[in-house]
Amino acid sequence: MNNLSSDNSTQTTKQLGLIFLIGFMGSGKTTLGRKLASRLGYMFMDLDHIFEAQEGITIGEYFSKYGEEAFRKLESEVLKTHKYPEHAIVATGGGLPCFFDNMDWMRAHGKTIYIKLPPKTLADRLQNEKDERPLLRERHGEALVQFIAEKLEEREPFYNKANIIANGLSLTAERVEELLSI
Ligand code: S3P
């Protein structure tokens, strides 16, 4: 009997297609994405890394050289032209859902999951790894929390269009898998 029900759940989880993880910088899209992909036996892909490999330049360098507007255009192009496998977990850059029709495109091509965390938690997590993130350089302490709070408010209308909104505090890959099967 137990076998039957676990067979059913395996069946469901094997048909997930593309799962896009979205959320602010520092929300854990990459870490969680890797774990989820390994649980499901899917490929994990990170669009920031795909961008960097394709362009042969880090995102930080790209921003400095060409500016944010050029980055957003190319980021959207990478999202829409990359050849994805049938099933995969795709981590996206924090700003990606908020430009052009990227959010609608992801919803049309797969499932979207917003990993939601409060500004203070994001700031604590980002404190030591913000140098490679061009939008956060030069922001510290309370100014960093304030900046994140404002950006998050601006971005949440886009993030909230996700198929699933997951509380990012102590979020595990098991929990995401559970949310996906509902
Ligand atoms: C950005 C987030 C970064 C990267 C770029 C811009 C943003 O990705 O795409 O630095 O606008 O929030 P992560 O969310 O993976 O850090």
| Residue range 50-90, pLDDT digits in tens | 999 999 999 999 999 999 999 999 999 999 999 999 999 99
Is the model's pTM score more than 0.95? no
pLDDT at 3: 40
Write the burial class of residue 109 (CB in 10 Å: 0-12 exposed, 13-18 middle, 19+ buried).
Answer: middle
Pocket test for ligand 1, best of 32, 79, 133, 139 (most atoms within 8 A of CB): 133
Cα 7 to middle of ligand 1, angstroms? 38
- From the list 5, 101, 2, 85, the residue with the least C-alpha distance to 37 is 85
| Residue matched to tokens 């913000």 | 130
Cα torsion 156, 116, 176, 80 to 10°: value is 40
User: How many Å apart are CA 67 and CA 52, to the nearest integer?
Assistant: 15
Ligand 1 atom closest to the Cα of residue 30 is: 15
7 band by pLDDT with thresholds 50, 70 and 90 = very low
9 band by pLDDT with thresholds 50, 70 and 90 = very low
Nearest CA to ligand 1 atom 3: 93
pLDDT at 14: 59
Cα 83 to middle of ligand 1, angstroms? 21
Cα 158 to middle of ligand 1, angstroms? 15
Sheet of 18-22: strands edge to edge?
43-46, 88-91, 18-22, 111-116, 164-167
Element spanning 153, H or E: helix 141-159
Q: Residues with Cβ within 6 A of ligand 1?
A: 25, 48, 59, 93-95, 133-135
The pLDDT of residue 1 is above 80? no
User: How many Å apart are CA 78 and CA 47, to the nearest integer?
Assistant: 8
The larger pLDDT score, comparing residue 2 to residue 182, is at 182
Which CA distances in Å does 119 have to 107, 139, 169? 25, 14, 12
Across all residues in the chain, what is the average pLDDT? 92
Pairing relationship of beta strands 18-22 and 43-46 according to DSSP bridges = unpaired
- The β-bridge partners of 46 are 91
Ligand 1 atom closest to the Cα of residue 134 is: 10
pLDDT at 131: 77
Nearest CA to ligand 1 atom 11: 95
User: How many Å apart are CA 107 and CA 64, to the nearest integer?
Assistant: 31
User: How many Å apart are CA 123 and CA 35, to the nearest integer?
Assistant: 23
Cα 94 to middle of ligand 1, angstroms? 4
Ligand 1 atom closest to the Cα of residue 91 is: 15
At 86-137, the pLDDT tens digits run 999 999 999 999 999 999 999 999 999 999 999 999 999 998 887 789 999 8
Instruction: Provide the 8-state DSSP code for 96.
Output: G
Element spanning 25, H or E: none
